[in-house]
Amino acid sequence: MELLKERIRAEGSVLPGNILKVGSFLNQQMDIALYNEMGKEFARRFSGTKISRIVTIEASGIGLACITAQYFNVPVVFAKKHRSANVSGDLLSATITSYTHQTEYTVILPKAYVRPGDSVLVIDDFLANGCALEGLVSMIVSGGATVAGAGIAIEKGFQGGGDRLRARGVRVESLAIVEALEGPEGIVFRK
Amino acid sequence: MELLKERIRAEGSVLPGNILKVGSFLNQQMDIALYNEMGKEFARRFSGTKISRIVTIEASGIGLACITAQYFNVPVVFAKKHRSANVSGDLLSATITSYTHQTEYTVILPKAYVRPGDSVLVIDDFLANGCALEGLVSMIVSGGATVAGAGIAIEKGFQGGGDRLRARGVRVESLAIVEALEGPEGIVFRK
């Protein structure tokens, strides 16, 4: 998606450790007009696919998931990163390793909000090593639902998570795939 | 807002410790059509007020803030609950005590995303003892911006946070104010 790539080129900065900082428009300050264009693009790519629910993970995926949901007319559910006092009932869970934070954490999703027969679109802002997406996929499948696909804003292609999931049969649609960040050419996108 | 109160009556449940669980439509599964109605209502209440930016706090305020932002044509910024590796630059911060989780935590907001001269609308799903909102207000003011007001989905009026902030001159617009949860009449709303 050229509009997103242009913003990454214009405002993205690369921090040590192959971290791409896009906080000015994507994952801390959120440009809602851009979000709407991304939501429309996900709707275009998944047109003709049955989607009954969108699932994301806190925190930075939530905004994009909510804006995108308007183009599918479905509810959004987000997986929480730790058990909190106001979650009750039967839970799905997965353990995820964060590349950015170099930590492991547990995510949970109430079974009541991902039902057998659901056809789920996963939305997230970033896909790197794929651990978060793998965890979401395993929770959705163990809840008896189907993963229709994943819509990602920025995939770090060189970390391989997206391609591993594609090889397993998960449809991953990323709006911008970055192949290199720190080389002599700067930020390079997959053709 | 009658539509929200109806949903709270129909789907809300009260957990021990005066916790109101509304995860089925507000803060874990998110009903985007309802969110749009809430966003329109905030726009109606704050019509004629200059708003240049919406600020919220991760995680459950983000969705409502993003949907609401469409009615104000402004960007959304969310305060993060801990410093993460992909935040850099000068930061505003505040310490917040969580009623639900009985813990203290630090929230941060990059100065670059709340600028002197900004007129900020704070959006959040819940207002209870007001610590989160007080922390956001103090960060916004110390960043040189003005707080135009706060738009809250559910205020727990009996915990007093909203009224304390109103007494300090902050305009707090809550779409449903709960005065009692555990009494003989069940959930009671402020008239």
Question: Is residue A17 helix, strand or coil?
Answer: coil
Summarize pLDDT for B24-37 with one digit per residue, the tens: 999 999 999 999 99
Q: Which residues contact B130 (CB under 8 A, 6 or more apart)?
A: B159, B160, B161, B162, B164, B165
Question: Is residue A119 helix, strand or coil?
Answer: strand
Summarize pLDDT for A125-183 with one digit per residue, the tens: 999 999 999 999 999 999 999 999 999 999 999 999 999 999 999 999 999 999 999 88
- Report the percentage of chain B scoring pLDDT > 70: 95
What CATH number is given for B2-189 in this structure? 3.40.50.2020
Candidates B30, B39, B15, B81; CA nearest to A79 is B30
How would you class B29 by CB atoms within 10 Å of its CB: exposed for 0-12, middle for 13-18, buried for 19 or more? buried
Residue A184 has pLDDT above 90, yes or no: no
- Whole-angstrom CA distances from B81 to A75, B119, B162 are 25, 23, 21
Residue B102 has pLDDT above 90, yes or no: no
What is the rounded average pLDDT of the residues B151-165?
A: 97
Candidates A85, A114, A107; CA nearest to B102 is A85
Note the pLDDT of residue A182.
86
Q: Å from B21 to nearest chain A CA?
A: 6
Question: Is residue A68 helix, strand or coil?
Answer: helix
Question: Is residue A158 helix, strand or coil?
Answer: helix
φ, ψ (nearest 5 deg) of residue A124:
-150, 160
Q: Are residues A93 and A111 in contact, defined by beta-carbon separation less than 8 angstroms?
A: no
- Which residues in B lie closer than 8 A to residue A65 (C-beta atoms)? 63
Q: Do A86 and B23 lie within an 8 Å CB cutoff?
A: yes
Which amino acid is located at A28 in the chain? Answer: Q
Alpha helices in A99-149 (DSSP H): 131-142
Q: Do B66 and A112 lie within an 8 Å CB cutoff?
A: no
Q: Which residues contact A143 (CB under 8 A, 6 or more apart)?
A: A92, A109, A111, A114, A115, A116, A118
Contact status of B100 with chain A (Cβ, < 8 Å): yes
CB atoms within 10 A of CB A48: 5
